[in-house]
Amino acid sequence: MSKSSRNSVMTKVPAALALSLGLALAGCGGMAANRTVESVHQPVVDKTNYVLDVTTGPGGLSLPEQRRLAGWFDAMKLRYGDKVFIDDPLASGATRAAVEAVAARYGMLLSDGAPVTQGYVNAGTARVVVVRTSASVPGCPDWRDNSDTNFANATSHGYGCSINGNLAAMVADPSHLVHGATGSGETVVMSSNKAIDAYREHAAKAGEAKAGSTGGN
């Protein structure tokens, strides 16, 4: 091999080595997938249907069935954010009123319609459906970053896990992460004031009735 060709080979080897080292270091950064401030870890909302079949009659639900339904609600720890439906093939107003009365003890109202569930509901039976949503952030926490080196000027793998995880944990009704709350336009304060006004009105009427009874004696 001539001297000129040997020099050429020696020149190419360091260049190739430098290139390979550069690629290796770039791979160590490994964060080029997301160069924005938008987190790839977003809350995911899951929906689960829970069902209980109750026996109905001409008068709606018997007292034992109402107690069984209340026990199921207790076991479910029925709470704000849950949706309660009734699937009654006879569409009995008495049955709906009975289920609604039990649900009202937990501060819940019956929602219109009913989701499709597995199995057929026979006449003489009504199906109470509780739809519960939950929110979580899959893939969090993400500790894949084992170095502060960041050649791609990208966010870390765990970027967004903390704030989105807290949001998913704190939201009272996870379905609001999918679509905002809808209703009559009243605020929480306005709704709360209604309950306070109703309590005050009841207390005032009770006081008047007591005073009238005392005065009559």
Domain range summary for the chain, segments of one domain joined by +: 45-135
Whether 59 shows a pLDDT value over 60: the answer reads: yes
pLDDT of residue 35: 84
Comparing CA positions, the residue from 33, 54, 75, 10 lying closest to residue 159 is 33
Which tops the pLDDT comparison, 119 or 180?
Answer: 119
CA distance 160 to 25: 25
Question: In the chain, where do the E strands start and end?
Answer: 44-55, 83-87, 125-136
β-strands 125-136, 44-55 pairing: antiparallel
pLDDT-derived band of residue 195, with 50, 70 and 90 as boundaries? low
More confident residue, 169 or 191: 169
Mean pLDDT for 211-215 is 58
pLDDT above 90 for 56: yes
CATH class of domain segment(s) 45-135: alpha beta
- Judged against a pLDDT cut of 70, whether residue 80 lies above it is answered with yes
Percent of the chain with pLDDT over 70: 71
Q: What is d(CA 137, CA 160) in angstroms, rounded to the nearest whole number?
A: 10
pLDDT of residue 52: 94
Provide the CB-side half-sphere exposure for 56 (13 A, CA): 26
Place of tokens 């306070």: 196
pLDDT tens, 85-126?
999 999 999 999 999 999 999 988 899 989 889 888 988 999
Residue 200's pLDDT band (cuts 50, 70, 90): confident
* pLDDT-derived band at 145, boundaries 50, 70, 90: confident
Lookup: tokens for 54: 């109750």
pLDDT tens-digit series, residues 11-44: 444 444 444 444 444 444 444 468 888 888 999 9
Q: Sheet of 44-55: strands edge to edge?
A: 44-55, 125-136, 83-87
Predicted pLDDT at 212: 61
Q: Is the pLDDT of residue 63 over 70?
A: yes
Q: Give pLDDT, residue 130.
A: 96
Residue 198: pLDDT over 90: no
Separation of CA 75 from chain center: 19
| Beta strand 83-87 pairing with 125-136 | antiparallel
pLDDT of 127 higher than 50: yes
Q: In the predicted model, what is the mean pLDDT of residues 183-198?
A: 63
